[in-house]
Amino acid sequence: MFTNQYLAYESLSNGMKALIADLKTVCVGDNFKQHGGQSRAQRYDGNMTHMKVKDPGNVQTTSVHPLVRTHPETGRKALYIGGHVQHFEGMTDEESEPLIGFLKQHSTRPEFTARVRWESGTLTFWDNRCTQHFAINDYPAETRIMHRITVRGDTPF
């Protein structure tokens, strides 16, 4: 599934846009919080024994990003929110949680989402600067081979 984060931002009230305009998020790509404190390598080793997954190694995954980012090519504003967001810079987890929860739920509303039905030969591209993606395990007992290429991005603003 994919979400359109341009639409998610644009549909917010003017008051909410003003409130979040300058917030920065502390993001952790390894997503320890949602997985009981386990690193990706630990999860892959213990939980994904049925899958062949390349160990990501010990990569630094913590970074700070603007919550509302401007796409460098389109000039449009988009929410940059998802499971990687831990808290707002300068705020505690407890202070950040209610607003992060609201924005995560808001950004994945059905009217902002599209679902790809995978078939042999399906090719999909997306831009992480203005979308979220979520893999759905809708192929039980089947083998799905996926090759992922990530292009080094720009500095968010």
pLDDT in tens, the chain (157 residues): 999 999 999 999 999 999 999 999 999 876 555 556 666 566 666 655 555 656 666 666 788 999 999 999 999 999 999 888 999 999 999 999 999 999 999 999 999 999 988 777 888 888 888 999 888 877 777 777 777 777 777 888 7
pTM for the model stands at: 0.79
Predicted local distance difference test score (pLDDT) of residue 36: 61
Domains recognised in the chain with CATH numbers: 2-133 (3.60.130.10)
Sheet holding 85-88, edge to edge: 62-66, 24-28, 85-88
pLDDT at 61: 75
Angstrom distance (rounded) from CA 9 to CA 5: 6
Q: Are β-strands 85-88 and 77-79 bridged in parallel, bridged antiparallel, or unpaired?
A: unpaired
What is the distance between the alpha carbons of residues 113 and 8, in angstroms, rounded to a whole number?
Answer: 10
For the chain, the DSSP string reads: -EEEHHHHHHTS-HHHHHHHTT-EEEEETT--GGGTT--HHHHHHHH-TTS------S---EEEEESEEE-TTT--EEE--STTEEEETTS-HHHHHHHHHHHHHHHT-GGGEE-----TT------TTSEEE------TT----------------
Distances (CA, A) of 156 to 24, 68, 98: 11, 9, 24
